[in-house]
Amino acid sequence: MLLLAARDCDDARATLDRDPAVAAGLLTYLIKPVETVFDAAKGVAWSAA
């Protein structure tokens, strides 16, 4: 499972660590930090890893 999380945000990890499937070793996950950049002049947003 791949999760995208905001920088300095541990909520997704804390939630998944309480999941019974994760605790039983049936589900593993990777949290990848992603930064979203917004260009207000162009009205365009993109993600930068």
pLDDT tens digits, one per residue of 12-49: 778 788 888 888 989 888 777 777 777 788 888 777 65
Q: Quick one: how far is CA 47 from the chain centroid?
A: 12
Tell me what pLDDT residue 23 has: 86
How confident is the model at residue 47, as a pLDDT? 75
Report how many domains make up the chain.
1
Q: What is the residue range of 28's domain?
A: 2-48
pLDDT score, position 46:
75
Q: Tell me, what's the pLDDT at 18?
A: 85
Instruction: In whole angstroms, give the CA distance from residue 38 to residue 47.
Output: 9
Is the pLDDT confidence value at 4 over 60?
no
Backbone angles phi, psi at 30, to 5 degrees: -130, 130
